[in-house]
Amino acid sequence: MRTTVGIIGAGPAGLLLARLLHNAGIDSVVLESRDRAYVEHRQRAGILEQGTVDVLRAAGAGERMDREGLRHDGIELRFDRRRHRVDFPALTGGRSVMVYAQTEVCKDLIALQLKEGGPLLFEAEALAVEGAGGDAPRVRFRHEGREDVLECSYVVGCDGSWGVARKAIPAELTRVFERTYPFGWLGILADVPPSHDELVYARHDRGFALLSMRSPVVSRLYLQVPEGTDAEAWADEEIWDELERRFETGDGWRLERGPITQKSVTPMRSHVHEPMRYGRLFLAGDAAHIVPPTGAKGLNLAVGDVVTFARALTYEQETGSAELLDAYSETCLRRVWQAERFSYEMTTLLHRPADATPFEDRIQLARLARIAGARAAEQDLAEGYTGFPLE
Active-site residue list? 72, 201, 293, 297, 385
Q: Choose from ligand RFL, ligand PHB, none: what does 294 bind? Cβ within 5-8 Å by kind.
A: ligand PHB
Q: Choose from ligand RFL, ligand PHB, none: what does 6 bind? Cβ within 5-8 Å by kind.
A: none
Give me the 155-184 binding string for ligand PHB, x by CB under 6 A, dash otherwise: ------------------------------
Among 6, 9, 12, 46, binds ligand PHB (CB under 6 A): 46
Dihedral, 382, 387, 388, 391 alpha carbons, nearest 10: -150
Q: Choose from ligand RFL, ligand PHB, none: what does 5 bind? Cβ within 5-8 Å by kind.
A: none
Q: Whose CA is closest to 204, among 342, 356, 341?
A: 356
Q: Whose CA is closest to 390, among 317, 336, 314, 321?
A: 336
Which residue's C-beta sits nearest to ligand PHB? 46
* 3-state secondary structure at position 108: helix
Q: Choose from ligand PHB, ligand RFL, none: what does 69 bind? Cβ within 5-8 Å by kind.
A: none
Residue 148 or 227 having the CB closest to ligand PHB:
227
* 3-state secondary structure at position 252: coil
Give me the 275-294 binding string for ligand PHB, x by CB under 6 A, dash otherwise: ------------------xx
Q: Whose CA is closest to 268, among 182, 206, 350?
A: 182
According to the binding rule CB under 6 A, does residue 296 interact with ligand PHB? yes
Q: Choose from ligand PHB, ligand RFL, none: what does 220 bind? Cβ within 5-8 Å by kind.
A: ligand PHB
According to the binding rule CB under 6 A, does residue 47 interact with ligand PHB? yes
Dihedral, 221, 223, 227, 229 alpha carbons, nearest 10: -80
Residue 146 or 320 having the CB closest to ligand RFL:
146
Residue 199 or 310 having the CB closest to ligand PHB:
199
Binding site for ligand RFL (CB under 6 A): 8-14, 31-34, 39, 44-47, 102, 125-126, 158-160, 163-164, 185, 187, 266, 285-286, 293, 296-300, 302
List Cα–Cα distances, 26 to 3, 18, 118, 367, in angstroms.
9, 9, 10, 48
According to the binding rule CB under 6 A, does residue 220 interact with ligand PHB? yes
According to the binding rule CB under 6 A, does residue 212 interact with ligand PHB? yes
Q: Which stretch binds ligand PHB (CB under 6 A): 44-52, 139-147, 304-312, 368-376?
A: 44-52
Q: Whose CA is closest to 31, among 1, 65, 67?
A: 1
**Amino acid letter at 274?**
E
Question: Are 141 and 148 contacting, i.e. CB atoms less than 8 angstroms apart?
Answer: yes
List Cα–Cα distances, 102 to 106, 109, 254, 299, in angstroms.
6, 11, 28, 8
According to the binding rule CB under 6 A, does residue 194 interact with ligand PHB? no
According to the binding rule CB under 6 A, does residue 382 interact with ligand PHB? no
According to the binding rule CB under 6 A, does residue 203 interact with ligand PHB? no
DSSP string, 201-249: EEE-TT--EEEEEEETTEEEEEEEEETT--GGGS-HHHHHHHHHHHH--
Residue 91 or 221 having the CB closest to ligand RFL:
221
**Amino acid letter at 376?**
A
Q: At what angle do helices 358-373 and 375-386 cross, to 10 degrees?
A: 90
According to the binding rule CB under 6 A, does residue 246 interact with ligand PHB? no
Q: Are strands 199-203 and 175-190 parallel, antiparallel or unpaired?
A: unpaired
According to the binding rule CB under 6 A, does residue 52 interact with ligand PHB? no
DSSP string, 269-295: EEEEEE-SEETTEEE-GGGTEE--GGG
**Residues near ligand PHB (CB under 6 A):** 45-47, 199, 212, 220, 293-294, 296
